[in-house]
Amino acid sequence: MTEIPEHLRKRAAEAKAKAQGPSDEGSSDAGSSGGESAPSGAASKIPAHLLERSKSAKSRGDEGAGTAVAAAGGGTAVATAPAPAAAVPTMTGPAGHTQRLLTVVKSGSIQDIKAQPLDKVHTWPHLIVVEFGAALAVTAFLTVFSIFVNAPLLRLADVNATPNPSKAPWYFLGLQELLTMFHPMVAGVTIPGIGLFALMLAPYVDRNPSNKPEDRKFAVSVFTYFMMFWAVLVIIGSFFRGPGFNFVFPWVEGIFFDL
C-alpha cells in the first residue's frame, strides 16, 4: 500500500476539523431548541461549503417549480402546491465516484520534436571515406592497367607537315563538330554561352530539394538530353570524319582517330 505523505495528512486533518466545526454548532443549536434532531454522523462529514451549495441549488429548484398566485377578492396570497421538482443530477459515476475524464491529450501536442529527421549524412567521415576508397580503387586499377597495356606515343610533331585530318582531343571534338555546321561566332560563343547560362539558371528553375533520382525528373531529363547531344557530336567527330574533316563511313574508309 502506498504511504500517504505527511503534508497531505495534515491538510486532510485541517479540512476535517473545519467541516466538523459548523456541524457541532448546528447540533448544539438544535438541542437548545428542543424540537429538532441532531444531524447524523454521515452529514457531519460533508464540508460546509458543499452543504451551502446543495441548499442553494435545492432552493432554486423549488422556486422554479412552485408558483405564487394572488387571490382576487381577499387580497391574501395563496401558494399553490409545488410540482415535484426534477431530481437534481448528481455528479457521480456508476459506483459513486466523483472523478471525471476531461480529455485525452496526445503526446505530440506536449512533446515538441525540434530535430526533424533529414535524408542527409555528415561529410566527415561518411562521404570522405567513400570518396577516398573510390580514389584508391581507381589508382590501383590504373596502375595494374598501365603495367600490362602499352600506350605508344605518336611521332614527334613536324611544323612543316600538318596531319590530315587534324582533330582536337576527344573532349573538344563536339565543339570542333559544331564549327563545321555553324559560323565560328555561333559555334564557339553563342551556343556554349547559352549552355553556361542555362546551367546557372538550373537551380532556380528546378527547386526540388529531394536527392532521389525518381523525384528529380526535370533535372535528370535535362542532363540526359545534354549528354546525348554532346556524345553524338563526339562520336561523329571521332569516327565519321576523315581527311579534310569530311564525313566518311568508318566501315568503308577506316577510322581516322588516335587517342
The tens digit of pLDDT for each residue in 120-133 reads 778 888 889 999 99
pLDDT of residue 127: 87
For residue 81, tell me if it sits in a domain: no
Pull the grid cell for residue 129.
571515406
Of 108 and 164, which is predicted with more confidence? 164
For residue 212, tell me if it sits in a domain: yes
For residue 19, tell me if it sits in a domain: yes
pLDDT of residue 104: 64
For residue 225, tell me if it sits in a domain: yes
Of 219 and 115, which is predicted with more confidence? 219
User: Which of 18, 41, 56 is at the close of a domain?
Assistant: 56
Distance (Å, whole) CA 157 – CA 68: 130
Contact 237, 173 (CB under 8 A): yes
Domain count, the chain: 2
Of 11 and 89, which is predicted with more confidence? 11
Of 37 and 152, which is predicted with more confidence? 152
Distance (Å, whole) CA 43 – CA 46: 6
Q: Which residues, 6 or more positions from 125, have their beta carbon under 8 angstroms from its beta carbon? A: none
pLDDT of residue 72: 42
For residue 86, tell me if it sits in a domain: no
Q: Is the pLDDT of residue 73 over 50?
A: no
Q: pLDDT tens digits, residue range 204-214?
A: 888 888 888 88
| 31-45, 100-114, 164-178, 209-223: segment of lowest average pLDDT | 31-45
For residue 15, tell me if it sits in a domain: yes
Contact 192, 175 (CB under 8 A): yes
Where in the sequence is the domain holding 171, given as residue range(s)? Answer: 163-253
Q: Is the pLDDT of residue 50 over 90?
A: no
For residue 152, tell me if it sits in a domain: no
Identify the band that residue 89 occupies on the pLDDT scale cut at 50, 70 and 90: low
Identify the band that residue 17 occupies on the pLDDT scale cut at 50, 70 and 90: confident
Q: Is the pTM of this model over 0.85?
A: no
What is the distance between the terminal CA atoms of the chain, rounded to a whole angstrom? 91
Identify the band that residue 13 occupies on the pLDDT scale cut at 50, 70 and 90: confident
Mean pLDDT score across all residues of the chain? 77
Q: Which residues, 6 or more positions from 253, have their beta carbon under 8 angstroms from its beta carbon? A: 242
Residue 133, helix vs strand vs coil: helix
For residue 26, tell me if it sits in a domain: yes
Which CATH number is 191's domain given? 1.10.287
pLDDT of residue 70: 43
